[in-house]
């Protein structure tokens, strides 16, 4: 008693699967509202990221033009001699 046949187990599995897919579809159809503060925060974070990238690029450009980097024409000149 209590043991299910293969066909009954298959039906139970399929009904659970259909119920789960219906629940997922129900969740997808409900509109999601995002608070305005979250949108502002996301926008501010994007602006800060852009500002940091611009600052790093400007610092690199300034450093390259102020400090003269003299790259050797060959890697053999850079390696220590033994």
* Structural domain for 58, as ranges: 6-29+41-77
In a domain, 25, yes or no: yes
In a domain, 45, yes or no: yes
The confidence band for 82, taking pLDDT boundaries of 50, 70 and 90, is low
In a domain, 1, yes or no: no
CA-based torsion, 32, 36, 41, 44: positive or negative = positive
In a domain, 36, yes or no: no
47-80 tens-digit pLDDT: 999 999 999 999 999 988 888 777 777 777 777 7
Q: Are 72 and 78 in contact (CB under 8 A)?
A: yes
According to DSSP, residue 30 is labeled S
Task: Please state, in angstroms and rounded to a whole number, the distance separating the CA atoms of residues 3 and 6.
Answer: 10
Half-sphere exposure for 19 (CA within 13 Å, toward CB): 6
22-41 tens-digit pLDDT: 999 888 887 878 788 888 99
Give the N- to C-terminal CA distance of the chain in Å, as an integer: 85
């Amino acid at each position: 008693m209590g043991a299910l046949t293969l066909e009954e187990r298959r039906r139970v599995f399929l009904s659970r699967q259909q119920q789960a897919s219906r629940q997922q579809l129900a969740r997808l159809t409900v509109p999601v509202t995002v608070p305005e503060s979250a949108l502002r925060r996301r926008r501010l974070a994007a602006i800060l990221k852009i500002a940091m990238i611009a600052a790093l690029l400007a610092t690199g450009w300034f450093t390259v033009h102020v400090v003269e980097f003299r790259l050797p024409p060959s890697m053999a000149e850079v390696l220590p001699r033994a």
